[in-house]
Amino acid sequence: MFREGRMSVDGEVPKDIHRPDHPNSVGWVRPRKAILFEERPLELEAGGTLGPVEMEYEIYGQEPGPGGENVILICHALTGDAHVAGWDADPLGPIREYRRAKPGWWDQMVGPGKAIDTNRFMVLCANVLGSCYGTSGPSSTNPATGRPWGLGFPMVTVGDWARQQRELLSLLGLGHVKAVVGGSMGGQMALEMGLAYPDLMDDLIILSAGHRVTSQGLAFNVAGRHAILNDPVFNDGDYYGGPWPLSGLAVARMMAQITYLSEESMGFKFGRRLRGKESPDFTLTGIDFELESYLNHQAQSFVKRYDPNSYLYLTRAMDYYDAADKWGGGDMAAMAERIRARTMVVSFSSDWLFPPELCRELVSGMCLARRPISYVNVPSRYGHDAFLVETETVRRLITCYLKQF
């Protein structure tokens, strides 16, 4: 098995229901590294080339079967990484010594006996180009200068990420996989892989994602990037070795966090409740509301672990992506004709970043193209975050879907 759990690691084992010695955990894991595009650089969709490319990935579960029929590739969301399950055996994370003292971002779904069962499948997750979690990006060293790339790093697209994932599979000797699974930005990647490499997979599972972002989603991304670009210490992206533009990144994260929630979820969790007081302080600088405190906490946690330049690159790639325009000349059915995999699309009723009506456009295109499609719209108050929060529902959907075939 590709399981790397049960290894001896210095320090106290985190006390959590998903602790690494739990029988349903993949245990302690360490990231792996691959060097791609050494002999022939990656031809980027936006122009230019890049190579060699360093790529971080993790693998759990079984050895790959003949033809890759038991391999599942998981594509991570915007600020996620390859650490999808288990506990990171590396004591320090990749950005400014941030400690990842928690299980992988989808640990509830991936592991022995879980929805994506590592007793049955080999599970692979790889970090995307432009990120700051071990794969080549703006914080990586530019071999031509010996300094971080900064904004000199080339523009990357969702199509480049799909090519990168395909190259890694080839390096691992995998010409075919059982399924490609992704949520949010990862759902865009999964869709792109189904379009670019229609014979690569048997199944696509797309959660909280569509063929493009909405106008509102685009607007929030624009405003978030504006906050970073206009931070006083941004220095045209060349801030490595000095103060980072964390104020701008914090604002961008707050705005993004709002898009991940819904009015109902914010009202249920926070409403207009004051934080530890009976009446407001009537100040401009204090934190009076519980919602204020939550957004501030999310922002301050995020800036400890993420590179502002990476945020610029990844949100820009999401904004540029329009699968129907790229593959169908704007026609959803023409686009969907390229897909050969069985597909399941899952939307969530209160998600307004990738709302149900946007997901249904993809489903309708699949129906018009007479492609096998399953669609579920899950009633939820949790907004876009529902694909991570509605654990039991998502677990049942994925478990039942994978057991069909």
Catalytic positions, written as ranges = 184, 351, 384
Distance CA 180, CA 177 (A): 8
- The burial class, CB within 10 Å (0-12 / 13-18 / 19+), for 285 is exposed
Distance CA 182, CA 167 (A): 18
Residue with tokens 């991936």: 110
Is 124:72 a contact under the CB 8 Å cutoff?
yes
Backbone angles phi, psi at 322, to 5 degrees: -145, 100
Is 88:82 a contact under the CB 8 Å cutoff?
no
One DSSP character per residue, 239-282 reads: -TTS---HHHHHHHHHHHHHHHS-HHHHHHHTTT-BSS-SS---
Instruction: State the virtual CA torsion across 81, 82, 83, 86 in degrees, nearest 10.
Output: 150
Query: For the stretch 325-337, what's the b/e string if a residue is b when 16 or more beta carbons lie within 10 angstroms of its beta carbon?
Result: ebbbeeebbebbb
Tokens read off for 315: 């949100």
Is 81:288 a contact under the CB 8 Å cutoff?
no
Tokens read off for 251: 């604002």
Neighbouring-strand partners of residue 43: 49
List the beta strands (DSSP E) in 112-172: 116-117, 122-126, 141-142, 147-148
Cα 147 to its chain centre, rounded Å, is 27
